[in-house]
């Protein structure tokens, strides 16, 4: 009995030590970004940049507001597509090929957008969000040492954080999403951290799938603005124009389509 008791106590102590280590690393990461007070002082963000995938280049933008509003845009050959989440529903407008009406997102696309909409990220107030975190020890990223954290989200998805042992900033994340019984994996690597309103943000990101590690998307952020005024209505799904809205009355000029104006809006 004494032997079993010692083993049980040892396992309990190891679990407690792991939890304390995970909590410590989370706190160091948040401090490295600028501290929880500086992070919580942010209420909105506007980012603009460029995404490169092979020879294909796209201008991209992102507007976000706390706690869970986000809108992404991407401009190709003068046309701007967008996807957004208003805290309840996700939608998109794809004007390419003449499709200018808004449409609801399916669960596959919605899951990624909901994740992006978490304004402060997985680690801030993770307990209140229903997330759990484990410290998995040391690992390597491109041959360099890193601390590895496992974050299990409330919805069951898993995100692995790799923290630089010197700066404690994340240099890589790996995400596993479970959607309709299928598994979707992705990774992102971060670099070129710069200070914006007292908070460090990565200005260079490279993302892809472990199944096709050679096919990645590289995003270079040109500008990040913090606490800019953004109308919450920007994240709401616009109404599709009725069949009669595109017809001009006799003697009057044809009214502009609201949807066309929305699809051409850029950051």
With contact defined as beta carbons under 8 Å apart, do 151 and 122 qualify? yes
pLDDT at 3: 52
pLDDT over 90 for what percent of the chain? 70
CA gap 41, 44 in Å, rounded: 9
Domain ranges for the chain: 2-235+256-263
Task: Please determine, for residue 70, whether its predicted confidence score (pLDDT) is greater than 80.
Answer: yes
pLDDT at 211: 86
Read off the tokens for 125.
């107030």
pLDDT at 180: 84
Q: What is the pLDDT of residues 33-65, one digit of tens each?
A: 999 999 999 999 999 999 999 888 999 999 999
Q: Residue 121: how many CB atoms within 10 A of its CB?
A: 19
With contact defined as beta carbons under 8 Å apart, do 207 and 188 qualify? yes
Integer angstrom CA distances of residue 124 from 26, 101, 172: 8, 36, 17
pLDDT at 108: 83
What pTM, to 2 d.p., does this model score?
Answer: 0.82
Residue 161's closest CA among 183, 197, 190?
190
CA gap 205, 218 in Å, rounded: 6
The stretch 243-250 carries a mean pLDDT of 44
CATH homologous superfamily of 2-235+256-263: Lipoprotein localisation LolA/LolB/LppX (2.50.20.10)
Q: Is 116 left (phi over 0), alpha (psi -120 to 50) or beta?
A: alpha
Q: Which of 57-66, 100-109, 200-209 has the lowest mean pLDDT?
A: 100-109
CA gap 60, 243 in Å, rounded: 31
126 band by pLDDT with thresholds 50, 70 and 90: very high
**DSSP codes, 99-130:** --S-EEPPHHHHHHHHHHH-TT-SSTTHHHHT
Task: Please determine, for residue 8, whether its predicted confidence score (pLDDT) is greater than 80.
Answer: no
């Amino acid at each position: 009995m004494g032997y079993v008791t010692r083993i049980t106590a040892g396992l309990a102590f190891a679990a407690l030590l792991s939890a304390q280590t995970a909590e410590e690393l989370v706190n160091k990461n948040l401090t490295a970004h600028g501290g929880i007070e500086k992070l919580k002082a942010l209420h909105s963000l506007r980012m603009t940049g460029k995404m490169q995938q092979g020879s294909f280049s796209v201008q991209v933008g992102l507007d976000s507001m706390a706690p869970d509003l986000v809108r992404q845009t991407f401009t190709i050959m003068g046309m701007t597509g967008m996807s957004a989440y208003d805290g309840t529903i996700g939608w998109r407008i794809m004007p390419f090929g003449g499709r200018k009406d808004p449409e609801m997102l399916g669960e596959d696309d919605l899951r990624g957008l909901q994740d992006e909409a978490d304004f402060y990220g997985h680690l801030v107030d993770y307990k209140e969000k229903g997330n759990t975190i484990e410290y998995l020890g040391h690992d390597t990223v491109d041959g360099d040492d890193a601390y590895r954290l496992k974050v299990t989200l409330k919805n069951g998805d898993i995100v692995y954080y790799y923290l630089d042992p010197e700066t404690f900033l994340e240099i890589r994340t790996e995400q596993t999403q479970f959607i309709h019984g299928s598994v979707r994996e992705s990774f992102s690597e971060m670099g070129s951290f710069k200070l914006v309103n007292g908070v460090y943000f990565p200005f260079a990101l490279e993302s892809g799938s472990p199944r096709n590690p050679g096919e990645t998307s590289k995003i270079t952020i040109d500008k990040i603005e913090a606490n800019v005024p953004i109308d919450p209505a920007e994240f709401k799904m616009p109404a599709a124009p009725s069949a009669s809205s595109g017809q001009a009355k006799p003697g009057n000029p044809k009214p502009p389509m609201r949807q066309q104006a929305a699809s051409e809006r850029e950051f």
